[in-house]
Amino acid sequence: MREAGFSRREFLKAVGLGAAAIVMPGCGKSSNGPAGKEPVDRPNIIIIMADDLGYGDIGCYGNKTVKTPNIDALAEGGMRFTDFHSNGPMCSPTRAALLTGRYQQRCGIERVLGFRRAKAIGMSPVEVTFAEVLKAAGYATALYGKWHTGHPPEFAPTRQGFDTFRGLYGGMDYHSHINRTGHENWWRNEELVPEKGYGTELITGHGERFIEEHKNKPFCLYISHFAVHFPWQGPNDKADFLPGVDNSSAEKKYGTRKDRKAAYKEMTEALDEGIGRIISTLRRLGLEEKTLLFFMSDNGGHNIVASNGPLRGYKGSLLEGGHRVPAIAYWPGTIKAGSITDETTMTMDLFPTMAALGGAALPAGLKLDGVNLVPMLRDGKKLPGRTLFWRFKKAGAVRKGPWKLLIQGQRRHLYNLADDIGEKNDLAKSEEKRVEAMLSEFVRWEQEVTAGVKWVHG
């Protein structure tokens, strides 16, 4: 982590926006597109991130009990990813990677940031976010929902490129908006401003209003839902977290509903309803074909309530169930309806994708780890081969083609995911040379991304 303390003007000068900047490749119009339509120049961009939604929790990924017609409609009308991965198996690391387009290790956020308000910790404002570069390119920017990459005021979203923010900095009760320490946690920009209502519905409502207010200019809207993270509370439940008391007991942490899976189902369906409202707003305003909407989860599902389908492992693990997540790209008229991609992609790929679509400039010298997905989204092109990495606590993982090396302390496990998505057949002993080669790549990557980094842990 680099030291904080820059003013906005000093920050822009430091990173070179508006001065010594470069333009992302792939900007502007494409010569190709479905149905022979003229491609959209500088589309609106909406990122919708669910929290702790498992790979098998929604209909289009095989769930037969939870009703998610709106998310399923996105898949039917767009591109569904079968090999999309969160950068981390828990919240804050993935969000840092999304914001910066780089491995979260580079900015020191590798674990979940603590939720106690007294700690002034977070991602330094010197880090360059997708909101910064899109705002500099003329986009209106907003974040509604969960931030969780720093505490106000030093590390607020409004100091990292977002024109407006409404939502929460960490965890909270969906009804009382109180966190586990008993403090109010519902903010407007850098101030606590209470608002009544179910958290998921409030976040959706703010997103709808933002679209309405910015329908005549390019906008980038980041809807970062707290759903379906615990406490597991449906829209009609009562609040579990109380003001002024420690709510950290196991019961308070997860919610008081005895049937937790029923609550989880209601939460998922409320999330789906909110996504339907966003699509309806775009459709009503004639913006549906002018907007790329990307939906995903920040990590795998929780082991108590979620389904990760055929995957082994859950949230917090570097097994596939911890980081292979549902993801859908929806852009009618540009992305082929009903398409499915098995390209291996990650959260950090969205920054360069958004920058390319927005014709945004990057500061000279900034190297992104993510890749631009625009050619794949528009024209179905394959991505260049690459090696991808994860690290969380004492575990690591390397992905190279279908091969995945899982590092757990001194133990090494190797899986061929093309034949074994459930990671049941460990091939490490029969593929010793492959294990050693992939381990060497991991060591080099680890040294490169952590050089000179100050760790920020809560």
Model confidence pLDDT, tens digit, residues 25-37: 444 443 334 444 5
Q: Tell whether the model's pLDDT for residue 176 goes beyond 50.
A: yes
CA distance 21 to 355: 13
In which band, very low, low, confident or very high, does the pLDDT at 13 lie, cut at 50, 70 and 90? very low
- Predicted structure pTM score: 0.93
Q: For residue 175, what is the DSSP state?
A: T
> Percent of the chain scored above 70 by pLDDT?
90
Mean pLDDT, rounded, for 188-209: 97
So where are the chain's domains? Answer: 41-386, 390-450
**Pick from 359, 358, 355, 353: nearest CA to 376:** 353
Q: Tell me what pLDDT residue 403 has.
A: 98
Residue 337 banded pLDDT, cuts 50, 70, 90: very high
In the predicted model, what is the mean pLDDT of residues 118-130? Answer: 85
Asked whether residue 324 carries a pLDDT value surpassing 70, the answer given is: yes
Q: ∠ CA(261), CA(262), CA(263), 5° rounding?
A: 90
Residue 114: how many CB atoms within 10 A of its CB? 15
State residue 114's pLDDT score.
75
So what's the pLDDT on residue 152?
84
Fold of 41-386: Alkaline Phosphatase, subunit A (3.40.720)
- Reference 30, options 13, 43, 17; nearest CA is 43
Q: What class does CATH assign to 390-450?
A: alpha beta
Q: What is the mean pLDDT of the chain?
A: 91
| Mean pLDDT value across residues 43-47 | 98
CB burial of residue 117 (10 Å; 0-12, 13-18, 19+): middle
> Please, which pLDDT band fits residue 455 given cuts at 50, 70 and 90?
confident
3-class secondary structure, 18: coil
The pLDDT assigned to 116 comes to: 57
Give CA separation, 354 vs 100, 219, 407, 416, 455, in Å.
Answer: 12, 11, 32, 32, 28
Point out the least confidently predicted range of 7-21, 235-249, 314-328, 387-401.
7-21
pLDDT surpasses 80 at 409 = yes
Which residues participate in catalysis according to the annotation? 91, 148
Which structure tokens are listed for 235? 């829209």
Query: Between 29 and 62, where is the model more confident?
Result: 62
